[in-house]
Amino acid sequence: MDAGLLIQYLIVAVAVLASVWVVMKKQFPGITRRLRGALALALLKPGRPALMQALGRRIAPPGSGGGGGCGGCDSCGPTKK
């Protein structure tokens, strides 16, 4: 295989993977979050090299904290009159 053709195939593969990632994030956010979480947990297992654990922390989905102490309904503050 020619080196130029190999580079072309690699560039096309990266472009396809990037476009699949964008579509997954836009159309299927729940599935994407679960996939990221599963992959991050696999990389964060004890005994893994530090580089793999750092990658796992980087790709882990952000926490879905509520914002308030009770879940985030924002109705426990003072009432406006």
List all residues 6 or more positions away from 74 whose beta carbon is below 8 Å from its beta carbon.
67, 68
52 domain residue, yes or no: yes
Between 3 and 65, name the one with better pLDDT. Answer: 3
What is the model's pTM? 0.60
Give the span between the Cα atoms of 48 and 63, in whole angstroms. 23
| pLDDT one-digit tens code per residue, 27-52 | 999 999 999 999 999 999 999 999 99
79 domain residue, yes or no: no
Domain, as residue range, for 27: 3-59
Give the span between the Cα atoms of 49 and 43, in whole angstroms. 9
44 domain residue, yes or no: yes
* Domain tally, the chain: 1
| pLDDT one-digit tens code per residue, 4-29 | 999 999 999 999 999 999 999 999 99
Whether the pLDDT of residue 73 is over 80: the answer is: no
43 domain residue, yes or no: yes
13 domain residue, yes or no: yes
Cβ atoms within 10 Å of 61's Cβ, excluding its own: 14
Give the span between the Cα atoms of 38 and 61, in whole angstroms. 10
